Amino acid sequence: MNKKLILVYIGIALLLGGCHFAPKYTQPKAPIPDTWPEGDAYLKVEDTSETTIISELKWENFFIENRLQKIIQTTLKNNLDLKLAALNVERARAVYGIQRAELYPTFNIEGNASKQRLPANVSGTTSVSKRVQYDITMGLPSWELDFFGHIRSLKDQALESYLATEQARLSARISLIAEVVMAYLTLAADQENLKLAQATLKTQQESCDLIKKSYQIGLATELDVRRAQTQVDVARRDIPRFVQQIAQDQNALNLLAGTQIPEDLLPKDLSSIIPFKDIKPDLSSSVLLSRPDIVAAEHHLKAAHAYIGAVRAAFFPRITLTGAMGTASTEMNTLLKKGSGTWNFNPQITIPIFDQRSWAALRVSKAERKIMLTRYEKAIQSAFREVADVLSVKGTIDKEIEAQTSLVDSVKETCRLSRKRYEMGLESYLGVLDAQRSLYGQQQILISFHLARLANQVKLYAVLGGGCL
């Protein structure tokens, strides 16, 4: 009978387990426009070349350069921040498993043996009393029948927290890949700046030597020599500065990768980097709802909904079952014989009458839901702004590079003409000096524009949530 009674209570719990007081979740409307911004700063759809859908493009297919792929793979394997994110996921999964296990009863088997001796003046008899008992029991320590969804709501909350942590790991993975590529591009740009400084130093030194020879034969002034020397010193000063930046860039890349990157994997300059694939977002801004950080924010919002259900369930009765059955005997050899069976069953019901803490907890849970909703909406708006900013750069950077390239070509021609006029005695060396100084500066700006273009492609890939699966 005792077994049947326990099964009856289990059946009742399963039948009544449909009660749930968590509010029904409905995905909030995204507080952003349905389409991306339009205007002079943005490319029109028909102006965009062949593109790839971001959700279908993995990082291996976007960053197609073999050297860069090896660095990214090394980073994903060794980076400690990513390892911490993975460990947080593992921990959240274990916490969810603990909370989910609360739905099911726990059974224990215990074996006990006891011997007791009582003197005559204690036992109430004229002789010494001895008591011996052996027993084996299978017990149900304490099991709450989840009639009103208290445990299930906590389980749902733990599940959503675990899913949010998993999305946070994916978001960290995207950010890490983008950061590695940015460090790689920065190193390439500084390598190119170093080459420019070295080439400029060589050119300026040759010019300075010619001016000195001209000065020695009376065809140039000492002022021309001093002016020529200033350009040499500027280029010579920049070389150790770029050497220093390159070393720091390598240190940053090694830190991200968690190991020393071999020299043969490092870029030589920006021109040696294989271009990335061209991508564009879907026509609808709803693509942002699949971004890992936004999905994580939505899971936190769902967890807040589930917690409201757990708090509401505290206003209703709680029924707990405790029981055990087994066998007991004063002799070990009769412990398993017929007639030695024993059992006990202790159901308990707790009915809340007045507890101000429950009402306060309910207000806290509702406020928490509003906070999570606000964070979710803010995450969407921030993501929309990030994509819009990157698209504005994408729509204008090529025109900037085109104009800057034309400017560099013009300044080069100005340098040539100024030098020719100086050699013909039609212009002072100051004009040549100004042209050379301008050319060096404009060439550095052109390098920065090329870096900005590549970096913007990486940012667009990251802010659209690609490369994480």
pLDDT tens for 337-358 read 777 788 887 888 888 888 888 8
The helices-and-strands tally (H runs, E runs) of the chain is 10, 6
pLDDT for position 403: 95
Q: What is the CATH number of the domain that holds 232?
A: 1.20.1600.10
pLDDT for position 48: 45
Say how many domains are in the chain: 2
Do 331 and 228 lie in one domain? The reply is no
Q: What is the CATH number of the domain that holds 133?
A: 2.20.200.10
Do 189 and 59 lie in one domain? The reply is yes
Query: Of the candidates 468, 461, 453, which has an alpha carbon nearest to the alpha carbon of residue 62?
Result: 461
Do 305 and 176 lie in one domain? The reply is yes
In contact, 45 and 454? CB cutoff 8 Å: no
Do 111 and 208 lie in one domain? The reply is no
DSSP 425: T
Residue 468 domain-assigned?
no
pLDDT tens for 391-409 read: 999 989 999 999 999 999 9
Do 64 and 112 lie in one domain? The reply is no
Q: Which domain holds residue 287?
A: 16-103+146-316+367-463
**Residue 342, C-beta contacts closer than 8 angstroms, at least 6 positions apart:** 135, 137, 325, 326, 327, 328
> What letters, b where the CB count within 10 A reaches 16 and e where it falls short, cover 376-406?
bbebbeebbebbbbbbbbbbebeeeeeebee
Residue 357 domain-assigned?
no
Do 225 and 331 lie in one domain? The reply is no
Average pLDDT, rounded, for the chain: 83
Do 308 and 244 lie in one domain? The reply is yes
pLDDT tens for 225-243 read: 787 788 788 888 889 999 9
pLDDT tens for 33-88 read: 888 888 888 877 554 444 455 656 788 888 888 999 999 999 999 998 888 888 88
Residue 222 domain-assigned?
yes
Do 344 and 223 lie in one domain? The reply is no
Do 384 and 438 lie in one domain? The reply is yes
Q: pLDDT tier at 467 (50, 70, 90 boundaries)? A: low
Quickly count: other Cβ atoms within 10 Å of residue 104's Cβ.
10
pLDDT for position 322: 84
